Structures are given as structure tokens and as C-alpha cells.
Amino acid sequence: MPAIKWPESGNPATDSITTMKFKTIVMAAGLALTTALAGCSTDGRMNTFLANNFTNNYTTQVDAGYQIPAVPISKVPRQFQRQTVSYKTAEKPGTIIVDTRSKHLYFVLPQGKAVRYGIGVGREGFEWKGDARIAMKREWPTWTPPREMIARQPELVKWKNGQPGGLRNPLGARALYLFNKNGDTGYRLHGTPEWASIGKAMSSGCIRLINQDIIDLYNRAEVGAKVIVL
């Protein structure tokens, strides 16, 4: 960076006064800039938005004694990685909106924002759409395959009374159970170790998220929250 050259008139007395004024202006400008930048870091709302706008928190995690493997996040398309986005909706904060077409799940925040997660959805013939509520939340849940699934995949009969929670459990680290006016829909928002399935239609109807993402959503969502599946 080149040195600042002070203005000169040829008159020593005048030059001395001019130089002092010029230095004062430069110092004031620097102070104003520093204050403005400091304002970005001390504004809670702005700080939260900048910190959460995009996350790389897909490292190894130990949860309830289970070691959740790190996700090779460079292999997951950026649009399916957890991030805070602008999102216009008439739904109140805390609502979950699942866009099965774009393969995104939105957790609505105040002020026109939402946390967006990449998801895997039901393959053809297993799609589900509608409104529901979160009736229960479970950590490392037991998975019980429906009778129809056991009929299609007889090898699952060993789990007819439930597969205990764990790293190989299809529900992953967390599950949010969706009920509507008719009771249990049979559908879940749940985790999966199969990070490569995110952004694809290959499940039996449930909405799956990367384990690190379902833990984040689980911590945000409340029992009774509205869930809209589009």
C-alpha cells in the first residue's frame, strides 16, 4: 500500500496546519469504518444470520454414546446442505414445510427467514402429501417395519417387534412422528446415515435428513408443531 502524501502549498506554516487537518480527517474516517464493522459483529440478529447462513457442521459427533460418522460434505450438493435462507410464507415461525419437488425442508424462522435442509423423499408409489402435526419426538428411536414392508421384504421379519435404535437403524439419530386428525400417518421426519440419498426419491414415503441435520431440526421443532408436506 503506498504511503499517504500530505498536500503541500510551499508555505511551511500553511502546510503544517493543512497536514494536521488532513490527518484528523483520515483518523476520523478510520474510526467510523471500524465502528461500522464492529456494529456487524455486535448486532445479535445479524451475527446469527451470518453464522448460520451456511454450515459446515457435518463432522463426527458423539451422541448418547453413539459416534455419528462425519459426512463427506463436499460430495453433497450445496443446495442440500443446511443453511439459512430468505423464505416468504404466511405460516408462523416453528412451522415445518416440506417441498418434495425441490427436495427441501424448511423450518420457518421470524422475519422472513427459514432454515433449509436437504431431504430424501418417497419413491414413486410411496409419496405422501398433506398437513400433520408432530405428535412425538424420539432420540435413537426403535424402528418397526409395517406388515406391508415385511411382505415385500421378508428378511425384515426379524424386526417385526422393533429394531432397537442405533447407527444401523433406518430412522437414524432422531425421529419426529407425524399425526393428523385420523391419527398416526405412519410417516416420519427422521435421520439417515445414507447421506448420498439426500436430494433423491428413494425412501418408503418418510422424509429423511442427514443425521447431523435431523439433530438440528429436532432441537428446533416442538411437539405440536404444524408440518405441511407439499
Q: Tens-of-pLDDT digits for all 230 residues of the chain? A: 444 444 455 554 444 544 454 444 444 444 333 333 333 322 322 333 333 465 668 999 999 999 999 999 999 999 999 999 999 999 999 999 999 999 999 999 999 999 999 999 976 545 678 999 999 999 999 988 888 888 988 988 988 888 999 999 999 999 999 999 999 998 999 999 999 999 998 766 689 999 999 999 999 999 999 999 99
* pLDDT score recorded for residue 55: 60
* pLDDT score recorded for residue 156: 87
Q: Compute and round to an integer the Cα radius of gyration of the chain.
A: 26
| Nearest of 48, 102, 44, 54 to residue 78 by alpha carbon | 54
The three cell numbers of residue 84 are 439459512
* pLDDT score recorded for residue 35: 34
- Give the residue numbers marked as catalytic: 190, 206
Beta-carbon contacts of 36 under 8 Å, excluding residues fewer than 6 positions away, are none
* pLDDT score recorded for residue 127: 64
Residue 48 near residue 57 (C-beta atoms within 8 A) = no
Q: How far apart are CA 42 and CA 168, in angstroms?
A: 43
* pLDDT score recorded for residue 23: 46
Residue 128 near residue 205 (C-beta atoms within 8 A) = yes
**Residue 89, helix vs strand vs coil:** coil
CA 110 to chain centre: 15
* pLDDT score recorded for residue 101: 93
Hey, CA dihedral for 130, 133, 137, 143, is it positive or negative? negative
H or E element that contains 67: strand 66-68
* pLDDT score recorded for residue 30: 42
Boundaries of every domain in the chain: 76-229
Q: How far apart are CA 45 and CA 83, in angstroms?
A: 16
* pLDDT score recorded for residue 52: 46
- 76-229 CATH pick, 2.160.10.10, 2.60.40.1120, 2.40.440.10, 3.40.309.10: 2.40.440.10
Identify the burial level of 17 via C-beta atoms within 10 angstroms of its C-beta, where 0-12 means exposed, 13-18 middle and 19 or more buried: exposed
